[in-house]
């Protein structure tokens, strides 16, 4: 039941064409989706500056291009994660402003460059192999209107590396911390800052890393109280939540 | 090397009692702990309103009382998690303002009731068995100077329950979402709000819940992008991070 | 917004006290819970013959008695699972018709003995140690108005045992099959009947049974296409779904 | 020992050519397979409308074609699951009525379109990536003579989506609910309907989804009592059991 | 249908009281259990010397005594595994010949001491903590009529220990090899002998032994081709299979 | 120290060229390998009829051919497991009697066809997909001089299939039972026979079969006492142990 | 065959009482244990300063006292791990020099206080709860004749703590690093020193620590190349290996 | 703040250009990295003879060549692990002394052949398939200036093989022990020597080896107290720690 029909119903009540009891009955069966859709609109207002997002994995180039075209009709900014260079070619044909982030296989369209975040988002990695996941977080946060700072390759085996970045870290309003192998970096970073640290385990490693399980468990058991965790390799999720916190 | 000794060293350089090269050498071996301690002080200033925290598990009543006495000498607020009623008796003897939160086995001292949080923290549970963990989050957040709202027993099997609290949820600046069994609630809540959702898996359940593993995995794989996760039963961590976000 | 307020609103529209646009606005924010609650009522009608259920685990005797009293005020039949003999004493004081099923630690009140099921529910176990879980399924199915048949201790190591019950099994409209250890019985039973088999792994076993994991995995991988699975030791769930199928 | 030989034996007894004791002895060693085969025939009668099924995985195109040809000689309907387009070409050469369902890589022959199901089977997915598994369930259910309704992409992160389909869901006699990642949808759907929900975890996801384990555990721990579970990606099994329930 | 009824049926055919077709029909529905029961009898003959066995875990003293009494009426030898001293008292009251094996908590009645085994069964342990499981194997094998030899505490960290028993090991017809922790002994023993080695992992260990999982996996991956494995702590099973092999 | 040198030493003692103490000292340091090598020879005598075996996985065609050539110089029979057709071509060039078993990717040379086994080895599979593993067991057992009987595709979902082979099974001296998915067949077969059953889990299945883990756990927890287990897909090991038992 | 018999044999050869061939034959069957035993003696000489060790877990007080008495007859130093205060009372009655280390439940007798280690062993813990495991390592290392230094409660969440001990750490010849929860400390310590770091995961933690698994995996995946790992809670093993390295 | 600037600051204090308080303030914010970098230099001195190391996995040939060129400018020795023959071609173009170790896919440059190790490092494997991992350890140890001895293919199923190498093993100062499948070799070797044994599990095996997990768990649970463990397939780490111990 869309708004037109609802207006009609209320007018019918007003005009006496429909009895209150009948109207009551129709309202009781008011489909949730309509209310829901209204909420979506309402939400959209609150979500100003949020990009549209396509999870590219498992979608064909054609599908990505088709969805992108539809979304770009109503949104200035678009993010396609886990996609390919060939999908990018198709999206670029639709929207010349599209750029391809090869490290993290993401397509971004950022026509609205308004800054929504209050502070800085620091994005930290333990090693160079963690950079693709960190870049996904970075692209996400940038598209959502944040200033970000990349601090890469500061793993705990050379503790002076992360310590040397202490002041920069302490200037951030939220930190995204990306690490594979033993996933120890978020605990150290969490001890250096007073803000939320979003830990992203990566599948980097071999043997008993079990495709990121070791890093994931390490982060969940962090002795730093300001650490929360997202799924293995989920750079997008980390960048998304960091953006929400930075707007707070 | 504390500040006095450092001042002395510089004065010695100024007065020519110490050569620049010697001073250089002493400074090169400047112990980290001193710098570190300075940082702690600096941090403490930033941490205004943070309670002192004792993780009670594995500590005797005597140990808890002794640490509590020491910490209360310098802090208005104190939290003891995973403790016992008998430990509370000892703490109360030291500090009459102490209260015991039996549901989550926590002792709280809250003499400074300043509100530091900007908005509301909503603390949601799927079932009544999840309440102890939620209460630990609630006590933590209150001690850190936040207004909180408890929304309990709104699990997804009766979806109208959580939907009926939608407006309250949407008024929060951050949501702590506590659930055992399949851990599905954070995904639903995450879809209803535009703010960070901190998901806490609980060990509630039996059989293939594997002591909270099912809920943990469910939350890590949430299809809602605004969900991050803490350790199983870690109400304290969730309350702590929520407080940080609420100050942001 | 309850029905009274909704009627009032429509009357206001009818009488011209409220403009259509205002009413529209109020309706757009119509809280879900009210609709939801209506649905519950509607559901309740469909659920005729469903007992009220209390999951006893983790609840005190007092809590169980209090909830039971409340539920018995509006329902003829009640089931309390995973409870204790002492909780039963309290419930019996409230409702003398209550009976205690010691094997599965369940309290049942069955004042309405209407049969709702179309056919027979066969409840089968591999060993005698699986009987408590099977009894929970049996009590549940009986309270939901079904005729049941218990076929116990017919594990596959003595295949003649289950074969000798073939005709009885083939007369059932749905089979609940309870087994621990290797959990092989549902596959054999599934091959003997043309109806749904609900497999319940139990935590019976030791060593590499890993508290029911071996049986669970075995059942999920059953080569019989008519087998579905519930959680380890979840006799209640199996009895519940079997009852739904038997009403179909 | 086939029926001819058994008749002969009894005639021999009748005619006195064989002593009762000798006959007794022969009967005692009556091979099970013959009885078994009789049962199969008997079963087949009960199974009217069941398609023949070939599990295609691990079989060559030649093998599939050969088996299909043999089965089609005695059956109107045939299903080949987990097969390939090239196998389809071979089957189509044998049976022009064969159709290929590319989304789920299944071949179907449906020459007998009799409806055996009493009601509607709703097949629901959380995401678009779950559709191949859902389609396998759908094709299976259709071949077994059921009316089905597809409700796709209604995952819980946008709860209004599934709520908007509530009435359609509530009109079904059984629901197949397919979801990867956290696998939360069956719990929500289970709370909306009063009929059995067959949950199918899919291997969709990454990282801590562990190839469908997260969804599987979530579904096994569902707080909705009407949920049972089949193996990861087992759309065929779900469609099969749903068909059995719908005939009930 | 027991033998009497079957004889009657055949006589009826012989006498013309029953038509061949009717008899055929009755025979077609000949219940499996009767054939099955016949098989059991037949089996029993083959099983001469097999003790009756009660798996004591989870059974009350009363239940054990009752079953023991029943079984002792028809069998000379009886084994009760995983039981208690108090159960033994009750069994001894029924059968004074009963003995209690405290190390492995087993009750044995061995009135028939016939030797059925052709050769020697060697029962080997890595450590002293593995002895209870080994003793269960030993008691089982002795009750089944075998000569056994205990070789305890010859773990691989002191390789000379097992080497010093090489000739004794090589004189056995089958070896039971019991080990916890890393479970390496069966591989070494397997390389020393030319006969089957039945490996029994035990739950002895701590930490990453995961209650016997480490030993179990080690044994399953043994590089000695003559090793097979039974469940963790399953001394009974190992003794049972060893006895079967020793009769071969 | 080889035999020549040892003889020389003893002659030196005899002739007084070496003192007893010196000889004693030399003997104390007698390298184990020499004794060991003697044992190998001794063992070899016991092992009459054992084929030489090459585990082909991870070896190049060249390596396999080179080892095969060396082994064939001293042995009539040879088995190469987990190899390739191209390796076979090289081996066949060396030994024209070589045959290739494509189902299990094994090369066999069987020039000595002496029967060493006392009885029959039955090799049973649950499904057709399990045949490659069963064939590896069969080839192994044949090369070791056994009569074998293949009983394939008798999985428990159609229980009449395995029951119809009961007499054949009961005529075996040892049974190898190969099954994937839920791995239930060994429990049923174990209940039908009085001889050892060697269960081989296979990696056949999908989803929660976890590459054979479900079948492995099922077999380890078998309620039939005569079942022992080898590694997933280890047809060679099963055939090897079965051969040892059959010689017993 | 002990040395006396071997001497006799050689004398017999010398005297012509035994032919060389006969002697050869007897020597070929020379039991390994004798050589082995000789090696044990030889080893013991090398092991000067090694204490005798009793693994107390699962042993009664009586057993511990009996073994201790036997070992103390030939050794100055003794260590009993995982034991009890009551066992200590019994040992003290035998050897008044015995001391009890309550934190790690160990009994030590150290009558030979010779220092065998070349340098210092640093024993580090992340938290105070890890101290019992660290103390077991410390007691072990002290009994083996080492100077040790305890550095406790320097977990990575407060990185200045471990940094402040950098010079002390760098003065050690080997470091034992004990940590539960995320087990990150060894990676940081490993980066600060140039010597081997023996990492000991502890079972300290809750939820997703899975009884030390998280710490174990973290340590195995350490990005510091000088880290090796022992079993969860294995303080003894760490102290033992550290002592070996310190003697090197 | 580098040393130049620090000297300048102290000179300014000396000359009165900077007040002590200002200097104090600048020093308080002294960036950690500078101290850190100083430490690295200091460390480098201690690390004389350490090769530079590039972990090749996941790096392109170009990246490896570029890093290698940079490192070779300041170091005589270089190791690239987990790389390719094509990367070697590029490195060889830069440094003709580079050699390629095909078995373990490592590039080595060893222009400084100084021996730093005090004793011998024995590198032992259970099977031939473990050699690549052992070779990685060997190349690492050689580049770090050690004499090594390879003892390959001495797995425990033929125990005489490792026993025959006992004296060689006992001459080593540290042993690296590489094994897949059940990983039993380190326990045996650990019992034969009095020095540290570094156990390296390999991913060699199939089925229940779970890619090295079985070997890893076996080694962690070793009953030999002198065994420590590194990650699955981590030959480099084992060679590195062995080198550190050998310098001790």
- What tens-digit pLDDT sequence spans chain F (248 residues)? 445 667 888 888 888 888 888 887 676 554 333 333 333 333 333 445 688 899 999 889 999 999 999 889 878 899 999 999 999 999 999 999 999 999 999 999 999 999 999 999 999 999 999 999 999 999 999 999 999 999 999 999 999 899 989 999 999 999 999 999 999 999 999 999 999 999 999 999 999 999 999 999 999 999 999 999 999 999 999 999 999 999 97
Q: Calculate mean pLDDT across residues E157-183.
A: 94
Subunit contact E164:G31, Cβ cutoff 8 A: yes
Interface test with B, best of G181, G208, G211, G213 (most B CBs within 10 A): G208
pLDDT at residue H248, rounded to an integer: 77
Residues 68-97 of H with CB under 8 A from G: none
Closest CA to G245 of H145, H192, H196, H223: H196
CB contact under 8 A, C192 and F222: no
Does C200 touch chain D if contact means CB atoms closer than 8 Å?
Answer: no
CB contact, 8 Å: A103 with chain C?
A: no
Q: pLDDT by residue (tens digit) across A31-47?
A: 333 333 333 333 333 45
Select from A43, A55, A244 the residue whose CB has the most chain B CBs within 10 Å, as the one to mutate to test that interface. A244
pLDDT in tens, E67-116: 999 889 878 899 999 999 999 999 999 999 999 999 999 999 999 999 99
Q: Compute the distance between CA of residue G124 and CA of residue G111 in angstroms, rounded to an integer.
A: 26
CA–CA min distance C57, chain B (Å): 9
B vs C contact (3+ beta-carbon pairs below 8 A): yes
* Angle value at C-alpha C161, between C158 and C164, nearest 5 degrees: 145
Q: What is the mean pLDDT of residues A198-203?
A: 98
Q: Taking the mean position of all CA atoms in its chain, how far away is CA G81?
A: 10
Question: What gap in Å lies between CA B52 and CA B49, rounded to an integer?
Answer: 9
- As a residue count, chain C comes to 248
* B58 vs G: CB within 8 A: yes
Whether F211 has its CB under 8 Å from any CB of chain D: the answer is: no
Which residues, listed in sequence order, are joined to residue C45 by a DSSP beta bridge?
none
Q: Does H204 touch chain G (CB under 8 A)?
A: no
How do residues A79-126 score in pLDDT, each as one tens digit? 999 999 999 999 999 999 999 999 999 999 999 999 999 999 999 999
Identify the residue whose tokens are 């110089």.
Answer: F73
Neighbours of chain G (3+ CB pairs under 8 A): A, B, E, F, H
B28 touches chain G (CB under 8 A): no
The DSSP bridge pattern shows strands F147-151 and F106-110 to be unpaired
> Can you say whether residue F212 is alpha, beta or left, with left for phi > 0 and alpha for psi between -120 and 50 degrees?
left
**Predicted local confidence at residue E39, as pLDDT:** 33
Contact C/H (≥3 CB pairs under 8 Å): no
- Largest separation between any pair of C-alpha atoms in chain A: 80
Residue among A47, A226, A232 whose CB faces B244 most closely? A226
> Would you state the torsion angle of the CA atoms of residues C36, C37, C42, C45, taken in this order, to the nearest 10 degrees?
140
Q: Does H159 touch chain F (CB under 8 A)?
A: yes
> Can you give the pLDDT at residue C35?
36
CB distance from D101 to chain A under 8 Å? no
Q: H31 pLDDT band (50/70/90 cuts)?
A: very low
Inter-chain CB proximity B230 and A228 less than 8 Å: yes
Rounded to an integer, what is the distance from CA A210 to the centroid of its chain?
A: 25
CB H106 within 8 A of CB H79: yes
Distance CA F225, CA E81 (A): 13
**Closest residue to H160, CB basis, from F33, F201, F203:** F33
Please give the average per-residue pLDDT across A58-73, as a whole number: 90
Q: Are B226 and B198 in contact (CB under 8 A)?
A: no
> Would strands E106-110 and E77-81 be described as parallel, antiparallel, or unpaired?
antiparallel
Mutate which of E178, E189, E217, E224 to disrupt the H interface (most H C-beta within 10 Å)?
E217
- Judge whether B184 is closer than 8 Å to chain D, CB to CB: yes
Residue matched to tokens 């080990």? E179
Contact at CB, H35 and B32, closer than 8 angstroms: yes
Q: What is the pLDDT of residues D133-143, one digit of tens each?
A: 999 999 999 99
Nearest to C196 among D220, D226, D245 (CB): D245
Closest chain G residue to A191, measured at CA: G157
| Residue E232: per-residue pLDDT | 98
**Which chains reach chain A with 3 or more Cβ–Cβ distances below 8 angstroms?**
B, C, D, G, H
F-interface mutation test, from C127, C160, C169, C184, most F Cβ less than 10 A away: C184
CA nearest to E1 within chain D: D28
Please say whether the dihedral angle defined by the alpha carbons of residues B128, B131, B134 and B135, taken in this order, is positive or negative: positive
For residue H197, give the H/E element and its range: strand H197-201
Residues of D in contact with E20 (CB under 8 A): 7, 10-11, 14
Q: Do D28 and E20 touch (CB under 8 A)?
A: no
Q: Give just the sign of the alpha carbon dihedral B162, B163, B164, B167.
A: positive
Q: How far apart are CA C44 and CA G168, in angstroms?
A: 72
Residues of chain C with pLDDT under 50: 1-2, 30-46
Q: What is the DSSP letter of C72?
A: H
Query: What residues in D contact C246, CB-CB < 8 Å?
Result: 248
- Give the chain E residue nearest H163 (alpha carbons): E159
Cβ–Cβ gap F206/D36 under 8 Å = no
Provide φ and ψ at D181, rounded to 5°: 50, -120
Q: Where are the beta strands (DSSP E) in E35-126?
A: 52-55, 77-81, 99-101, 106-110, 120-125
CA distances from H124 to F56, H131, H153, H238 (A): 22, 9, 8, 12
Q: Which of E105, E60, E95 is nearest to E75 (CA)?
A: E95
Whether residue A188 and residue G157 make contact (CB cut-off 8 A), yes or no, is yes
- pLDDT on residue F101: 97
List of residues 6+ apart from D75 with CB closer than 8 A: D51, D52
Residue B161 DSSP SS3: helix
Collect all residues of chain A within an 8 Å Cβ-Cβ radius of residue B220. 216, 229-232
Cα–Cα dist B40/G163, whole Å? 14
Q: How many CB pairs under 8 A join B and H?
A: 42
B102 and chain C in contact, CB less than 8 A: no
Q: pLDDT tens digits for D18-27?
A: 888 888 767 6
Residues of chain D with pLDDT under 70: 1-5, 25, 27-49
Closest CA to C19 of C28, C9, C29: C9
Does G189 contact chain H (CB < 8 Å)?
no
pLDDT in tens, B150-199: 999 999 999 989 998 999 999 999 999 999 999 999 999 999 999 999 99
Nearest to B187 among D163, D184, D223 (CB): D184
Are the beta carbons of E121 and E172 closer than 8 angstroms?
yes
CA dihedral over F17, F18, F20, F21, signed as positive or negative: positive
Neighbours of chain D (3+ CB pairs under 8 A): A, B, C, E, F
- Chosen from C4, C7, C9, C13 to mutate, greatest number of chain A CBs within 10 A: C13
Question: Which residues touch G33 (CB under 8 Å, ≥6 apart)?
Answer: E160, E161, E163, E164, E165
Nearest CA in chain D to F207: D232
CB of G234 within 8 Å of a chain E CB? The answer is: yes
Lowest-confidence segment of B210-219, E8-17, F23-32, H13-22 by average pLDDT: F23-32
Q: For residue E21, how many C-alpha atoms fall within 13 Å in the half-sphere facing its CB?
A: 0
Helices (H), B60-209: 61-72, 85-94, 131-143, 159-163, 166-170, 185-192
Four-residue CA torsion sign, G46, G51, G55, G60: positive
Instruction: Report how far residue A88's alpha carbon sits from residue A67's, in angstroms, rounded to the nearest whole number.
Output: 13
E38 touches chain C (CB under 8 A): no
Strand pairing report for A227-229 and B77-81: unpaired
Closest residue in H to G117 (Cα) is H248
């Amino acid at each position: 039941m869309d708004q037109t029909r609802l207006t009609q119903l209320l007018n019918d009540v007003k005009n006496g064409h429909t009895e209150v009891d009948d109207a009551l009955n129709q309202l009781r069966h008011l489909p949730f989706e309509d209310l829901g859709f209204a909420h979506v609109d309402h939400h959209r207002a609150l979500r100003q500056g949020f990009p549209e997002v396509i999870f590219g994995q498992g979608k064909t180039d054609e599908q990505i291009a088709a969805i992108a075209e539809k979304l770009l009709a109503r949104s200035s900014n678009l993010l396609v994660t886990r996609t390919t260079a060939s999908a990018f070619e198709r999206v670029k044909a639709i929207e010349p402003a599209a750029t391809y982030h090869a490290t993290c296989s993401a397509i971004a369209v950022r026509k609205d460059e308004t800054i929504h975040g209050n502070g800085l988002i620091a994005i930290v990695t333990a090693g160079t192999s963690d950079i693709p996941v960190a870049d996904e977080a970075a692209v996400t946060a940038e598209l959502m209107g944040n200033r970000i700072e990349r601090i890469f390759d500061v793993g705990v085996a050379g503790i002076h590396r992360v310590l040397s970045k202490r002041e920069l870290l302490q200037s951030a309003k939220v930190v995204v911390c990306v690490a594979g192998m033993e996933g120890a970096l978020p605990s150290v970073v969490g001890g250096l800052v007073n803000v939320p640290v979003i830990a992203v385990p990566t599948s980097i490693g071999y043997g008993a890393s079990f495709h990121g399980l070791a890093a994931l468990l390490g982060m969940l058991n962090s002795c730093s109280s300001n650490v929360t965790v997202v799924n293995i390799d989920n750079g997008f999720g980390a960048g998304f939540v960091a953006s929400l916190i930075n707007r707070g």
